Amino acid sequence: MSYLSIRNLSLRLKKGPALLRRVSLEVAAGEVRGLVGESGAGKSMIGKAVLGILPPAVEITGGEIFLDGVDLLRLAPRERRRKIGATAALIPQDPLTALNPSHRIGPQITDRLVDILGWTRAKAEARAVELLAEVQIADPARVLRQYPHELSGGMRQRILIASAFAAEPRLIVADEPTTALDVTVQKQILRLIAGMQARHGTALLFVTHDLGVVSKVCQRLSVLYSGMVVEDATVADFFAAPKHPYSAALLAATPRYTDPSAGLNPVPEAVIAAVRAEVAAFDKAHHG
Amino acid sequence: MADLYQVENLRLSLADMTQRRAFGPATQVEILKGLSFTLPRGSVTGIVGGSGSGKSTLGRALVRLLAPSSGAIRFDGVDLAHMTEAQLRPLRRRFQMIFQDPMSSLNPRHRIATLIAEPLRLHRFDAIPARVARALDQVGLGSAYANRFPHELSGGQRQRVGIARAIALEPDFILADEIVSGLDVSSQAQVLNLLERLVAELGLTLAFISHDLSVIRRLCQRTLVLQHGRIVEDRPTADLFAAPEADYTRALLEAIPLPDPSQPWV
């Protein structure tokens, strides 16, 4: 049984267009699933729906989100928050805005453990030191007393990774965690996330627009277009031969420095027209 | 003259934001540590490096948004390095910049046509509406977009507006600072293909700042690699990719995740 199982999840803007169209996907314990697509395809919305942090303007119009066998959408809000808080965590995109600039690092990691999970302050602090060491931060005790502005982007992202793993979640949603970083730091951070995920056996939902990153850290992926999953495949199968013309075009658009003639091919108009027609047909079939 | 830019021993210091003193002048930190290179007319040069390497500072010095502390920046034979703002003003039209984030570089309250017209007005061009229409046409947006606001456009379209704004002034040189890093791959490809075509058609000289070597590989004939404010490699792009000389270039190349699961990361 998959740790996270999303079935036919549909979202829309209140009184507006659909954002997700019957999205189904599974993530097993210890597995990494990539969610890829262009901006606006709905990939971040899936992660937000799972963590119960959808913007107020978005409503769920159908479907189920099973976390650890429990359908989150059937729980009362309070119970749902407790279930998510105890079992899932987020690694956000932008390490600068995710950390409060006026608070020291320490409480930003430990407060959640103390206030929500009921740990003692001493236990939470010991855990924070242990985690910062695990994300390869030298002198964790000193860093816990520092403010976010005193640290580099890479350091801040390490802290958010440590913070995400703090309560030993069974599921982590990583929402474009390296977009704000340069390539050499990105590589360190991705290896760190992959290493921690493997050691802790966490299920990981990895939102990214970079197929290169997917090929390095994920075992499976879902390709989204306009809130619809157009392909669900293992990484090995997908990169050998993508099945959907849109996902094939997305792969062809990804630059490769090893081959100057490859990449930088925009998704052809005909492919866009075909996948839009698919979306339109879907809407027609499901809304009469 | 074959070189549009001749940069010699360029040094630039800025106030150190990590140190703060209660009294006296701010501590200075040297960002660019003696750079020398040329940009031949009509060339497309990539400038790469990690964060903090000085690539954006170098770009801003080239278009004199920042003043160097020493050295020369000769543009078409004239040294810009120590000119006053008044001396620079008549020259500014000739070197333009396209910014990374069009959402913050385009005034959200102005319509696209106004955004493109504004710099034309500042530089006292005539026949502004015709020039705006032509620039929109050149970037593939067309007159339908003239009356829209930036938020009504996609990221790729906004970046086209940035390009239109720059080329409308008929500059000699364009500096593009990470202009596709916020876009998804398909829009990235469209914007880069457009830029490549325009540079060739209009005979522009382009410096393209990026941390993405895959993009540089496709677009630039020559590449400067910056690390800690120094040039560690300056070679034709094909040579640099075939056999990187600097360890730092090699590290940058190896850090790029190729879309290929059979190539593991070392």
Whether the pLDDT of residue B5 is over 80: the answer is yes
Minimum distance, in Å, between the CA of residue A44 and any CA atom of chain B: 14
pLDDT at B18 over 70: no
Residue A250 parent element (H or E): helix A245-253
Residue B76 neighbours by CB distance under 10 Å: 16
Contact B79, B88 (CB under 8 A): no
Cβ-defined contact of A216 to B155 (cutoff 8 Å): no
Minimum mean pLDDT range among A13-22, B13-22, B48-57, B129-138 = B13-22
Task: Give the three-state DSSP class for B222.
Answer: strand
Mutate to test the interface with B, among A182, A190, A191, A192 (most CBs of B within 10 A): A182
- Our measurement of the distance from residue A190's CA atom to the centroid of its chain's CA atoms, rounded to an integer in Å, reads 13
Determine the residue of chain A that is closest to B182 in CA distance: A179
Cβ–Cβ of B259/A39 closer than 8 Å?
no
Check CB contact under 8 Å for B184 and A249: no
The per-residue pLDDT for B101 is 80
Min Cα distance B226 → chain A (Å) is 13
Instruction: Give me A146's structure tokens.
Output: 């520092």
Nearest to B42 by CA among B4, B12, B72, B81: B4
pLDDT at A263: 62
B228 touching A (Cβ < 8 Å): no
Q: In the beta sheet, which residues pair with residue A58?
A: A13
Distance CA A29, CA B186 (A): 33
Q: B-chain residues within 8 Å CB-CB of A251? A: 259
Collapsed DSSP state (helix, strand, coil) of residue B231: strand
In percent, how much of chain B has pLDDT > 70?
Answer: 98
d(CA B215, CA A122): 49
d(CA B244, CA A100) in angstroms, rounded, equals: 41
Distance of alpha carbon B238 from its chain centroid, rounded? 21
- Which is nearest to B186 in space by CA: A220, A235, A209? A209
Average pLDDT rounded to a whole number, residues B179-201: 90
Query: For residue B197, how far is the Cα from the chain centroid?
Result: 16
Strand pairing class (A203-207; A32-36): parallel
* Range B179-188 average pLDDT: 86
What are the structure tokens assigned to B135, written together?
């620039």
Q: Residue length, chain A?
A: 288
More confident: B176 or B104: B176
Determine contact: B19 vs chain A, CB below 8 A.
no
Q: Does B77 touch chain A (CB under 8 A)?
A: no
Please give chain A's pLDDT, 288 residues, in tens: 689 999 999 999 998 899 999 999 999 999 999 999 988 899 999 999 999 999 999 999 999 999 999 999 999 999 999 899 889 999 998 777 889 999 999 999 999 888 878 899 999 999 999 999 989 898 999 999 999 988 888 889 999 999 999 988 999 999 999 887 888 889 989 999 999 999 999 999 999 989 999 999 999 999 999 999 999 999 999 999 999 999 999 999 888 888 766 667 889 999 999 999 999 999 999 874
With 80 as the cut, is the pLDDT of residue B69 above it?
yes
Residue of A nearest to B259 (CA): A212
3-state secondary structure chain B: CCEEEEEEEEEEEEECCCCCCCCCCCCEEEEEEEEEEEEECCCEEEEECCCCCCHHHHHHHHCCCCCCCEEEEEECCEECCCCCHHHHHHHHCCEEEECCCHHHHCCCCCCHHHHHHHHHHHCCCCCHHHHHHHHHHHCCCCHHHCCCCHHHCCHHHHHHHHHHHHHCCCCCEEEEECCCCCCCHHHHHHHHHHHHHHHHHHCCEEEEEECCHHHHHHHCCEEEEEECCEEEEEEEHHHHHHCCCCHHHHHHHHCCCCCCCCCCCC
Query: Which residue of A189, A220, A264 to mutate against B (max B Cβ within 10 Å)?
Result: A264
Q: Are B259 and A215 a contacting pair at CB < 8 A?
A: yes
Q: B44-48 and B205-210 as β-strands: parallel, antiparallel, unpaired?
A: parallel
Residues of A with CB below 8 A from B251's CB?
184
Comparing CA positions, the residue from B168, B214, B224 lying closest to residue B189 is: B214
Q: Which amino acid is at B39?
A: L
Residue among A211, A191, A210, A193 at smallest CA distance from A202: A193
pLDDT at A262: 67
Q: How far apart are the C-alpha atoms of A182 and B44, rounded to whole Å?
A: 22
B157 close contact with A: CB closer than 8 A? no
Task: Give the containing element (helix H, strand E) for A111.
Answer: helix A105-115
Comparing CA positions, the residue from A224, A250, A211 lying closest to residue A9 is: A224
Domain boundaries, chain A: 4-287
pLDDT value of position A287: 72
Sheet holding B222-227, edge to edge: B95-98, B173-177, B205-210, B44-48, B222-227, B230-236
Which residues does chain B have within 8 Å of residue A235's beta carbon, measured at their own beta carbons? Answer: 261
Chain A residue with minimal CA distance to B190?
A266
| Tokens 């404010």, located at residue | B229
Test mutation, A191, A257, A272, chain B, max B CBs within 10 A? A257
- pLDDT (0 to 100) of residue B266: 57
CB atoms within 10 A of CB B239: 13
- Across the interface, whether the CB atoms of A263 and B184 are under 8 A apart is answered no
- Residue B75 phi/psi, 5-degree rounding, is -110, 115
- Quickly tell me which residue has 């924070």 as its tokens: A128
Residue A110, token pair as written in the block:
């430990």
Token pair belonging to B213? 């070597």
With a threshold of 0.95, tell me whether the complex ipTM lies above it. Answer: no
For tokens 């677009």, name the residue. B219
Query: Which pLDDT value is given to residue B1?
Result: 64
Element (H or E) spanning A58, and its range? Answer: strand A58-67
- Interchain proximity B213–A183, CB inside 8 Å: yes
Q: What pLDDT score does A34 carry? A: 97
The enclosing H or E element of A131 equals helix A121-134
Q: Domain A4-287 falls in which CATH fold? A: Rossmann fold (3.40.50)
* Interatomic CA distance for residues B176 and B195, integer angstroms: 10
Both tokens of A147, joined, read: 């403010």
DSSP symbols for A233-244: EEHHHHHH---S
Q: How far apart are CA B174 and CA B42, in angstroms?
A: 11
**Chain B residues with CB inside 8 Å of A191's CB?**
265
Which residue in the block uniquely carries the two structure tokens 């030993």?
A: A168
CA dihedral (A249, A250, A255, A259) in degrees, to 10, reads: -40
A263 touches chain B (CB under 8 A): yes
pLDDT in tens, B94-134: 999 999 887 788 999 999 999 999 999 999 999 999 999 99
Minimal C-alpha gap between B109 and chain A (Å): 23
Mean pLDDT of B230-247: 94
The residue of B20, B103, B186, B256 whose CB has the most chain A CBs within 10 angstroms, and thus the best one to mutate to test that interface, is B186
- Distance from the A184 Cα atom to the nearest Cα atom in chain B, whole angstroms: 5
